[in-house]
Amino acid sequence: MDSNDYLRLLAAMVSFEQVKDVMKDIMSDLQQTNSEKILLSWVRQSTRPYSQVNVLNFTTSWTDGLAFNAVLHRHKPDLFSWDRVVKMSPTERLEHAFSKAQTYLGIEKLLDPEGIVQCLITTLILLYSFEYLKSSAFLFPLS
């Protein structure tokens, strides 16, 4: 990571703290007080239709790239073919999700696909997931 990456990470962390209340409002029916649990519940709700995806945490559940792509596909199914993504390697799936999120949602690439596969970075995965939630494209109820 270079200095710009650290600045983006710091900005994301500050943003994460500032919108905890927004997350609670969005997920008010969940009756949870912990922001991480609220975010995990939102991700689990978003990925429920995808049998290949079982998000249990913000570490190992994300390394194969399926969770990131499932969240994107659930809310923006016209962006790509889910069947094509499933056939990709974990690194390809991660790169695919990060590229689509940057191009179509304006979410900066805070994570490196190689780094995710080799090393679990819980805080970064949590922050990146939060960016998905925060994106205006995801502020609409699931259909």
- Which residues 6+ apart lie within 8 Å of 122 measured at CB? 57, 58, 59
pLDDT value at position 80? 97
pTM beyond 0.85, yes or no: no
pLDDT value at position 117? 60
pLDDT value at position 54? 96
Alpha-carbon distance of 139 to 116, in angstroms, equals 26
Q: Determine the 3-state secondary structure of 108 from DSSP.
A: coil
Q: Which domains does the chain have, with CATH numbers?
A: 34-125 (1.10.418.10)
pLDDT value at position 130? 75
Q: Determine the 3-state secondary structure of 143 from DSSP.
A: coil
pLDDT value at position 32? 45
pLDDT value at position 77? 93
10-residue averages of pLDDT along the chain (143 residues): 55 56 53 70 93 92 94 93 97 94 86 66 70 63 49
